[in-house]
Amino acid sequence: MPADSYERLVTKLKRVHHLGTVAGLLGWDEQVNLPPDSADLRAEQLALLAELQHAAAADSEIGTLLDELEDPVCHLLSDKCAGAADRRVVVREARKDYDRVVKLPAAFVAEKARLSSAAYHAWADAKERSDFSAFAPFLEKHLALAKQEAAYLGWGDRAFDYAIDKHDPGMTAAKLTELFAELKAGLVPLVREIAASPVRAKEGVFKGFPVEAQREFLREVTATLGFNYRRGRIDVSLHPFCEGPGADIRMTTRFDADNPLDSLFSSIHETGHGLYEQGLPLEAQGTPLGQNAGMGVHESQSRLWENQVSRSRAFWRFFEPRFREKFPAQLVSVSSEELYLAVNEVAPTLIRVDSDEVHYNLHILLRFELERRLFAGELAVKDLPAAWNALSEELLGLTPTEDKVGVLQDVHWSGGAFGYFPSYCLGNMMAAQLWFTVRAKYPELDTDFEKGDFSRLLGWLRTEIHEQGRRYETLELVRRVTGEELTPKYLLRYLRERYGPLYLG
């Protein structure tokens, strides 16, 4: 029976989802709690779970059920049947997922999971010793597997496009190149103007901030923004991340007594991810209606909360008094204007996650270009450090003196996450475009923020983005919500409006 077919399909999709959440939880634990000599066992555990999830996702009965539901005689997907629109989304996206997964051999999936676990520990060790050569063999293997996966799926001549599409469905290297070129053309002049400005943030503002007080403050901030700690938690890891479905979100941050903004803004960033996941329809989790639309959209949520909201004057008018209560001795000689300028300091840095908004996208352009060359065969893995350093000098005016602040700084390649970095830049563009859209609808948002009320913004994002699940691909979602195609012009406008008054007068 068709109705029974749909319910059976949903049951099977949720089984796949639950297995994935178990693997995700083990991955979170690996970066937060795992004893150092237990990595080999964890690699085997993750490989086993990858095999089990793959088997569940490739279950031939899913294909049979999809065939039944896609049959023209099946009335469940007809507009005459209540709820048909939602069911069409589930069936459409489930078909995409199924057709992709059945083309991947189970042994390949397990091999990739095993490699990702081993490569993470190799990366962490190589970064600590600043020795790229120790990590290079793992990266070479990941690159080979990425190309092999693309070939399995019929993208053999467009492996980089496949890597990008995995994270942002519908996006291509050509489209990214077009968007990034326009962004760079407007961004580089702004970077130069600010570099020539005599205005500089006060040095030594952030020194000696006790970690426990930082922890208390960031938890208060993230809860006020709307994160539900009854369905989530925050811990410490080498590299901040967010893992899990909305029913159980695991976030991480890291602490430095002389850099409290690192933990604060990385936590707000991950909270943006967490709010998105918590905003997806809970009853639909495990189906495409309860899944995010792609990593660019995901990053738009994290970057909007981290930057447009949390670096604004309105945000700090509310939180500055509390910040001073937590750190009275550290801030006693710092004026409000000095604090705000320090929060919005613009200065080039080698480290992407420490970068200010103005320079951040240059870090992404660097990584996008290097990945493009790797996939095109124009750059060998062994030559990555030199290529990274040269491009860093060209784009940022800074040359890494050691690998850990250059080519080894990011965790992403240890998991084979090629094509992910562009999502950050796409997210920045989307965040700015969403920002101007919501401010036009709710011009009183600043007043809300000054009162510590972020519910109006969160409610709008819930309705326009979170609750849509995977109904729309990235570019269509942006078009529907903002009324325009995705464009860098709003990001460039936002950066000038935020930083122009601070640095250019």
The C-alpha R_g of the chain, in whole angstroms, comes to: 23
- Residue position matching structure tokens 């997964």: 101
From 303, 431, 433, 319, select the one nearest 355 (Cα to Cα).
303
Query: How many Å apart are CA 233 and CA 305, to the nearest integer?
Result: 18
Please say whether the beta carbons of 19 and 77 come within 8 A: no
What ranges in 238-287 are assigned the alpha helix state H? 260-279
Residues 6+ apart with CB under 8 A from 252: 28, 31, 32, 234, 235, 236, 237, 239, 240, 241, 242, 270
Measured CA to CA, the distance from residue 321 to residue 323 in angstroms comes to 5
Rounded to an integer, what distance in angstroms lies between the CA atom of residue 22 and that of residue 38?
A: 18
Catalytic option among 30, 68, 243, 270: 270
190 — phi, psi (to 5°)? -65, -45
Residue 418: closest CA among 374, 358, 466: 374
CA distances from 490 to 273, 463, 483 (A): 22, 22, 13
Amino acid at 371: E
Tell which phi-psi region holds residue 83, choosing left (phi > 0), alpha (psi between -120 and 50) or beta: left
Neighbouring C-alpha atoms within 13 Å toward the C-beta of 496: 14
3-state secondary structure of 156: coil
Q: Of 438, 468, 472, 469, nearest to 455 (Cα)?
A: 438
Which pair of structure tokens corresponds to residue 165? 């599409």
| Nearest-angstrom CA–CA distance, 401 and 331 | 33
Closest to 370 in 3D by CA, of 406, 318, 334: 406
d(CA 8, CA 192): 59
Would you call 270 a catalytic residue per the annotation?
Answer: yes
Count CA atoms within 13 Å of residue 86 on its CB side.
Answer: 13
Contact 325, 493 (CB under 8 A): no
Number of other residues whose CB lies within 10 A of the CB of residue 386? 12
Active-site residue set = 270
